[in-house]
């Protein structure tokens, strides 16, 4: 767990976030309009006083510059950015609210904005595209072991673990599992575990564990998640597990393609054959298997290097092992129903019902929200630009100035409330 947390902290330091347009705009807009209003008042008044000596007494009494002061004040009222300051954040709040009604928790407006610019979506396999509930499909013991003996040894060694694979092995074993028969359990992250069962050294895990113990296992003919078992340093057989693909997983990949996602990638610590079988079934573009948590981070780093400028990468996962990758990706999406607390904490978006098809919906909500934001920005700036010119040349009065300020704000706010229904379309 400490290694996982260290990876999350290091990855979070590199993470980029998008900045709202209104923040960048206000940095230049506010001082510019204040200076423009001051110049609109000062320059014509001084020019009249300097060019026409007869106007000097009127300048001192205020009759000369009173008209230009009035125009400058109208200019300031018109230029007030209320419509932008209120409607832009409100549009994002509406989009977040609309997403939450659909079971999608977005942790901020910047993450909602980032979804609209996503180019690549990377998935974890187990628990994300598949249900993560394994069932034993085949047992291949080596002599002198029987299927029952091999399964019982593996289930006993896994007795104290709550990993989905461990739970499936214990559920498949019909013989009683006495915890007193198991001692010296040692879990090896990304490999499996070793334990003493009835005084015999039992190792249960993936092919990497067997290679680490200098044991050469046999390769099963069928594809699936393979659990290798060794007893006293000798290969005893393997157990084949099957994971069920989520009902809407294939539809999720197709929907992402329809939304313009250019590449879908699957990263998993599972065996290569099982990973490629799921990827082929779902239509995933690229698959990388037998990965440790640090390997997943490196793969995401590579994909980040390959992406186009301005386009973002999203990672979808559910387990504690996915937390570093969720933190490193431009936008992390976690499964909220069965996902680990670490994954939910590291993610920027949480799917409350674990349905991967909601990712495409989240992107549609994001793009519709951004359209509303851009509508408000263009509308507000266009109306204000016209009214500012009219105010500067003396055509606009204070009533028009108030309409250009408050009226535009009300219309922009009403348009922003459309974002609340973004998920219904």
Tell me how far apart the alpha carbons of residues 65 and 43 are, in angstroms, rounded to a whole number.
Answer: 10
Residues facing 231 on adjacent strands: 202, 234
The number of residues making up the chain comes to: 425
The Cα 279–Cα 255 span in angstroms is: 16
Task: Give the N- to C-terminal CA distance of the chain in Å, as an integer.
Answer: 42
DSSP string, 342-381: HHHHH-SEEETT--TTHHHHHHHHHHHHHHHHHHHHHHHH
**Comparing C-alpha atoms, which of 311, 358, 264, 359 is closest to residue 118?**
311
Residue by residue, DSSP assigns 177-246 as --GGGEEEEEEETTTEEEEEETTEEEEEE-HHHHHHTT--PPPPSS-SEEEEEEETTEEEEEEEEEEEEP
Considering 6, 52, 67, 124, which one is annotated as catalytic? 124
Q: How many CB atoms lie within 10 A of CB 250?
A: 17
Residue 377, Cα to own-chain centre: how many angstroms? Answer: 26
Catalytic-residue membership of 243: no
127-164 CB burial, b ≥16 within 10 A, e <16: bbbbbbebebeebbbbeebeeebbbbbbbbbbbebeeb
Q: Distance (Å, rounded) from C-alpha 118 to C-alpha 17?
A: 13
Distance CA 3, CA 419 (A): 41
d(CA 338, CA 223): 26
Which H or E run contains 334? strand 331-335
Active site residues: 124
């Amino acid at each position: 767990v400490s290694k996982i947390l260290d990876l999350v902290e290091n990855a979070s330091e590199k993470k980029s976030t998008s900045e709202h347009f209104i923040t960048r705009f206000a940095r230049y807009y506010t001082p510019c309009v204040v200076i423009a209003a001051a110049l609109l008042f000062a320059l014509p008044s001084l020019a009249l006083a300097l060019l026409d000596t007869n106007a000097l007494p009127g300048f001192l009494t205020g009759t000369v510059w009173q008209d230009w002061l009035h125009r400058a004040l109208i200019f300031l009222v018109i230029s007030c950015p209320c419509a932008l300051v209120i409607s832009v954040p409100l549009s994002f709040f509406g989009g977040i609210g609309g997403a939450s009604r659909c079971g999608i928790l977005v942790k901020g407006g910047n993450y909602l904005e980032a979804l609209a610019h996503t180019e690549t979506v990377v998935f974890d396999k187990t628990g994300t595209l598949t249900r993560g509930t394994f069932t034993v499909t085949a047992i291949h013991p080596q002599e002198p072991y029987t299927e029952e003996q091999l399964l019982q040894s593996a289930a006993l060694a896994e007795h104290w673990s709550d990993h989905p694979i461990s739970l499936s092995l214990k559920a498949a074993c019909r013989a009683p599992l006495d915890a007193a028969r198991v001692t010296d359990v040692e879990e090896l992250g990304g490999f499996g575990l070793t334990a003493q069962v009835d005084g015999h050294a039992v190792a249960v895990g993936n092919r990497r564990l067997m290679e680490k113990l200098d044991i050469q296992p046999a390769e099963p003919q069928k594809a699936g998640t393979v659990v290798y078992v060794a007893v006293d340093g000798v290969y005893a057989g393997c157990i084949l597990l099957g994971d069920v693909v989520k009902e809407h997983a294939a539809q999720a990949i197709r929907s992402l393609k329809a939304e313009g996602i250019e590449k879908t990638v699957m990263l998993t610590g599972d065996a290569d054959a099982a990973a490629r079988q799921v990827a082929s079934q779902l239509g995933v573009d690229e698959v990388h298997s037998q990965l440790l948590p640090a390997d997943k981070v490196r793969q995401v780093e590579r994909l980040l290097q390959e992406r186009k400028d301005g386009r973002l990468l999203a990672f979808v996962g559910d387990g504690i092992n996915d937390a570093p990758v969720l933190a490193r990706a431009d936008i992390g999406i976690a499964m909220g129903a069965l996902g680990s607390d670490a994954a939910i904490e590291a993610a920027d978006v949480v799917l409350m019902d674990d349905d991967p098809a909601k990712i495409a919906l989240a992107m549609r909500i994001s793009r519709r929200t951004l359209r509303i934001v851009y509508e408000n920005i263009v509308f507000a700036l266009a109306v204000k630009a016209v009214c500012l010119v009219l105010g500067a040349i003396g055509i606009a009065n204070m009533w028009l100035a108030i309409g250009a300020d408050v009226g535009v704000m009300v219309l922009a706010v009403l348009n922003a409330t459309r974002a609340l229904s973004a998920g219904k379309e």
